[in-house]
Structure 1
């Protein structure tokens, strides 16, 4: 958690095995809240809502910090430096997905006292993180060469240090998420981001190249880890209990495998683009991918911090409660992500030039197609959380493995046919044609059908089409510089989407409240 913005923290297989009435730190029992589905949904919803608000604040701060650092470094570094860092980031993303072997997820959904699990969990996480780091330290030159950027090897070795910190703080992070103490996580993350800035920017001014990114992230992770360690409020104790370890590994191994495959999905393009086209082209691609990750990184990560404990508690008590939560969550998520994706796709050339300068223009063609992946990733991430909450972690392995099997050859052919734009197109096609159907099918088999959600998605779909049409029309008629071409069409398209999606009675209620406030 402390070292990766996009890292999911799902619960494990045992999420569905606890008896009804189990009491835990996060939500209490159904009996305590009146025994009814709606009452329990409301209780968990209030706790999750508070956690979500703080997660959004933290992710907004992190994204603003990352955005600021990226803007500065884009002016100081060359695309090849971004390409070298992309290779190191691909390696780090993989190890961050598997290094704790599910210990954080175990802590979030643990049935019993976390203090009893923590010594064994921490020991396992530290040991496995150290082994994984050692393997990547030795294999860094081979990995960098495979990605077509041999110079990235020492940067890989530096950046992957963050998994050691993550292993040490794993149970402390789980404790904070389990108790919905996202306010503390937010404070730790924000302070870590400040440390990242203080280290990265001076390094860039001194000509450190890709080491600017890596050094800043390592410094930020260490600072965040120290704060999380202190706030986690668990005894400083290592140990090993065979029965506890058996439970952890029972769901941790398939979960780590699934997340490892997921990291391949998110980072195989870096390796393939780097191998085929080199570090400079990869730098352009990385910039576009980072922009497309703004919404999943901000909203998606915040949601996942609370959706796993929330869905886990709902699944633990009553299946009807989980189904009700899903029916409410999916339309809201779709309505939040669609207008952003549409505006980003239409206005990509103006957005890239306005933010990063003319030299980054080739990234715009990539960004347009990566918005499709952005939408699908948000939906499949929610499906992943739902599946793990009902204990179907093996289904997540099938989902991610099927996606990866289709994606890797598609990326290879797409990159050869149309360079970085072809890689982005391949990503979008596979996401729509393979990943989304696999996610829907897995949810149906797990007893969470999405058919009842479809009527609620009609209005957002119409709003997205209207938003795209209006935005493209206004772009054609606007006269002025890059800023006007970005701001005026974007505002017009967003307004059309809101007026299409939000019911008229809700608009009237909002207008009445604003009038009363004045």
Structure 2
């Protein structure tokens, strides 16, 4: 088997483990939220949400890009590990000290001084991530996502156990914070053990400079990406008020299911895969892109078409008719979701080639174009107008700019065009079938089953090559026979 084929085999195995781990974590989080909702009052959730917003933003920049830089490092891990460990620890400790000081001011600004110590406890999880950043990178770099998945699942179990126990004993919002910190510590210990990388501290200025040249632009780009994911909520809330924001956020949360489940799993695998292929040369990298694009599009586009076409049925079935204003928002945020998934893949390809500044500038341009567009859209068309603005900027600004960056990095755009052609062609009849059958079926659940099921089937039959379908059928029969 060629080196590229071996990398593909390892990446496929790593992706399966990442998807499985994410699926179990998402299901477990949902169950845990149901339990905690019965033990805590809404104010506790609000206090934790304030702390979580700060923590989630910091996690984008916590390690100064060390994880990605270590995964992409050209050379032996032992050359970079001691210096990378020091850089990650210093970065996370500095950010923790900063937020320890500003926590009272941030909590007061957010309207809840009770959140101060919850913020300080929750931010300690980022210290743990800094300590274990290089070990996590080592597991991703060597495609041992199975070990990473088991460590994360064990940490989630600890998180759930501590959170529920404390909540049952009246700890309020602190139950979330201590639960997450306990889970992070257990995950960190397991990652350190399973990675098998000796914990050494050292500092080589040349190595540190290379790490930061790669990591800081990527880190800044991820920070701007975090802004992109939250700025619409701020603007919609300011322009239209909390009630309309509630409808908008419901649609946004539904549209985020796929990036949360599939996107995170892909990011665990995509960067190390493309990095190892880039080490082999331009052609193996292009071969990897040629395989990855249609796979991603085949996973994401049917969900986007389903959300865009059957949005009213999805919202009514899951949340009830009173949330129906969210449906028109979901139609356009489904487009944003599909673009986000593609941009994540392009960003990882660029990072693998060492072009980490390009995604940063693209995200900055995206943000600068998005803010006025959202304000205008919200004022002119309400929550639907904001969603339309979000979709238009994603398609008209973000994708062309990333395409230009990709072309400059030496990866031909035709690889993406060829990979997207068949899934995009399949999306058209799938959408038409869903729209046609939804008009003939009564009831949200029936629409999703009949129209959604038929549309997805049409998509698969058109998008997936016949030889692949036949192979899958043979494998299914073989498994059934055993």
> Fold match, TM over 0.5?
yes
Candidates 413, 419, 424, aligned match of 2:376 = 413
TM-score, with length taken from structure 2: 0.88
Aligned-partner Cα distance in 2 for 1:74–1:466: 42
Range with greater deviation from structure 2 (110-119 or 223-232): 110-119
TM-score, with length taken from structure 1: 0.82
Relative CO higher for 1 or 2, CA cutoff 8 Å, sep ≥ 6?
1
Q: 1:405 to 1:73 in 2, by over 3 A?
A: farther
Contact 1:199 1:216 in 2 (8 A): yes
Q: How does 1:14-93 map to 2 (within 5 A)?
A: 39-70=2-33, 87-93=50-56
Offset from partner CA, 1:36-88 (integer Å, 9 cap, x none): xxx22112112212212211211221222233345556788888876765554
Aligned-partner Cα distance in 1 for 2:55–2:319: 25
Alignment of 1:231 with 2:194, yes or no, is yes
Q: 1:289 to 1:444 in 2, by over 3 A?
A: same
Aligned-partner Cα distance in 1 for 2:215–2:397: 26
Offset from partner CA, 1:455-477 (integer Å, 9 cap, x none): 44333223212222222222222
Unaligned regions of 5+ residues in structure 2, if any?
Answer: none
Range with greater deviation from structure 2 (282-291 or 320-329): 282-291
SS at match of 1:477: coil
Contact 1:87 1:152 in 2 (8 A): no
Range with greater deviation from structure 2 (58-67 or 154-163): 154-163
Alignment of 1:490 with 2:448, yes or no, is no
Residue in structure 1 matched with residue 303 of structure 2 by the alignment: 340
Range with greater deviation from structure 2 (357-366 or 391-400): 357-366
Aligned-partner Cα distance in 1 for 2:222–2:389: 21
Offset from partner CA, 1:203-257 (integer Å, 9 cap, x none): 6677877666555434432332222122222223333333322222222222222
Candidates 474, 487, 495, aligned match of 2:437 = 474
SS at match of 2:63: coil
Residue in structure 1 matched with residue 465 of structure 2 by the alignment: 503
Q: 1:453 to 1:41 in 2, by over 3 A?
A: same
Q: CA RMSD in A?
A: 3.1
- Give 1:358 deviation, angstroms: 5.8
Alignment of 1:192 with 2:155, yes or no, is yes
Alignment of 1:98 with 2:61, yes or no, is yes
Residue in structure 2 matched with residue 306 of structure 1 by the alignment: 269
Alignment of 1:431 with 2:394, yes or no, is yes
- Give 1:410 deviation, angstroms: 2.2
Contact 1:88 1:152 in 2 (8 A): no
Q: 1:220 to 1:384 in 2, by over 3 A?
A: same
Q: How does 1:185-264 map to 2 (within 5 A)?
A: 185-201=148-164, 214-264=177-227
Q: How many residues align?
A: 479
Q: How does 1:58-457 map to 2 (within 5 A)?
A: 58-70=21-33, 87-140=50-103, 143=106, 149-150=111-112, 153-154=115-116, 156-201=119-164, 214-276=177-239, 282=245, 284-356=247-319, 362-457=325-420
Offset from partner CA, 1:134-171 (integer Å, 9 cap, x none): 3234334555676x655685354443332111111111
SS at match of 1:403: helix
Residue in structure 2 matched with residue 14 of structure 1 by the alignment: none
Contact 2:70 2:211 in 1 (8 A): no
Contact 2:286 2:415 in 1 (8 A): no
Structure with more of its chain in helix, by fraction: 2
Contact 1:84 1:149 in 2 (8 A): no
SS at match of 2:439: helix
Offset from partner CA, 1:404-444 (integer Å, 9 cap, x none): 11112223333444454443333222111111111111101
Contact 1:90 1:270 in 2 (8 A): no
Unaligned regions of 5+ residues in structure 1, if any?
Answer: 1-32, 34-38
SS at match of 1:100: coil
Offset from partner CA, 1:377-409 (integer Å, 9 cap, x none): 111111101111111111121111111111122
